[in-house]
Amino acid sequence: MKKIIVAAVFATAILLIGVAWAQEISPTQGVFSGIVTKVDPEGRNFSVRGEGGERLFQWNRKTSIIGFPTIDGDTVLEFLKEGPAVKVFYTDAGNTRMAGRIEVKKGDIETLKGWEHPFGCGTSLC
């Protein structure tokens, strides 16, 4: 009976250590919005400046970019440029923030006034 109790305590301790270790190394997920300030094709990374400061993100072949049509090859490299507003969905594993999805924000009608519609007509005819 004593051996069964010792074995149960040992198994429980191993289980708790495994759970704590898994939580420690599991990547966290996050969302960050801002303006793309730099794109480095060779390093496969880009910087975004937002309310929380400037953050550096990596991308890989699994990273999708929303707001542009998909093509064969590296979609991020083809369409991500400096200047647009983006929302980045990423995983944070230590010092690396890996972008899983990048949403490029489209401008609304109000931002087009004075440029596309110089007389404030909007999308209707004057």
Q: Where in the chain are the domains?
A: 27-110
Query: Does residue 5 surpass a pLDDT of 70?
Result: yes
Q: Which residues contact 85 (CB under 8 A, 6 or more apart)?
A: 33, 34, 35, 104, 105
Residue 99 pairs in a beta bridge with 90
Q: What are phi and psi of 116, to 5 degrees?
A: -80, -40
95-111 tens-digit pLDDT: 889 998 999 887 544 44
CATH of domain 27-110: 2.40.50.320
Q: Name the pLDDT band for 12 (thresholds 50, 70, 90).
A: confident
* pLDDT number for residue 2: 76
* pLDDT number for residue 38: 94
29-58 tens-digit pLDDT: 899 999 999 999 899 999 999 998 999 999
Report whether 88 contacts 33 (CB < 8 A).
yes
Q: Name the pLDDT band for 67 (thresholds 50, 70, 90).
A: low
Q: Name the pLDDT band for 18 (thresholds 50, 70, 90).
A: low
Mean pLDDT across the stretch 69-82? Answer: 68
* pLDDT number for residue 112: 42
CA 31 to mean position of chain CA atoms: 6
Helix-strand-coil percent breakdown of the chain, rounded to 5?
Answer: 25, 40, 35
Alpha helix (H) residue ranges in the chain: 2-25, 75-79, 109-112
